[in-house]
Amino acid sequence: MAFILQVDFPMDGPFGDDLSHSFAELANSINEEPGMVWKIWTENAEAKEAGGIYLFQTKEDAVAYLEMHTARLNSFGTKNIRGKIFAINEALTKINNGPVT
């Protein structure tokens, strides 16, 4: 069974292309996290929020990443970080073409 981690937090920027350029190194490092399959980066410049949707192989990997990521964001001064972990119903997700393996 795979697990989704949903994270969002307040962020003043950058967004769009500036976010892409500023966070490319971080994006590459996320690929090395244990159990991480993929990440979808999320941003809402109008609401000044950012975050991501992640697919992890195990709940333990998702929990460990959330703890590490929260500590990293806190070290940057980011507060009000919201993280939720969900089990995936793979049978229904496959019917709707969800990207789970």
The structural domain count of the chain equals 1
pLDDT of residue 73: 92
- 26-77: pLDDT as tens digits: 999 999 999 999 999 999 999 999 999 999 999 999 999 999 999 999 998 9
Is the pTM higher than 0.75? Answer: yes
Give mean pLDDT, residues 75-83. 94
Cβ distance 64 to 70 under 8 Å?
no
Dist CA 53 CA 88 (whole Å): 13
* 49: containing domain: 3-95
Polymer length in residues for the chain: 101
Q: Indicate whether 86 belongs to any domain.
A: yes
Q: How confident is the model at residue 1 (pLDDT cuts 50, 70, 90)?
A: confident
pLDDT over threshold 70, residue 101 = no
- Backbone conformation region of residue 51, classed left if phi is above 0, alpha if psi is from -120 to 50, else beta: left
pLDDT of residue 100: 77
Q: Indicate whether 31 belongs to any domain.
A: yes
- Here the CATH number for the domain that contains residue 85 is 3.30.70.100
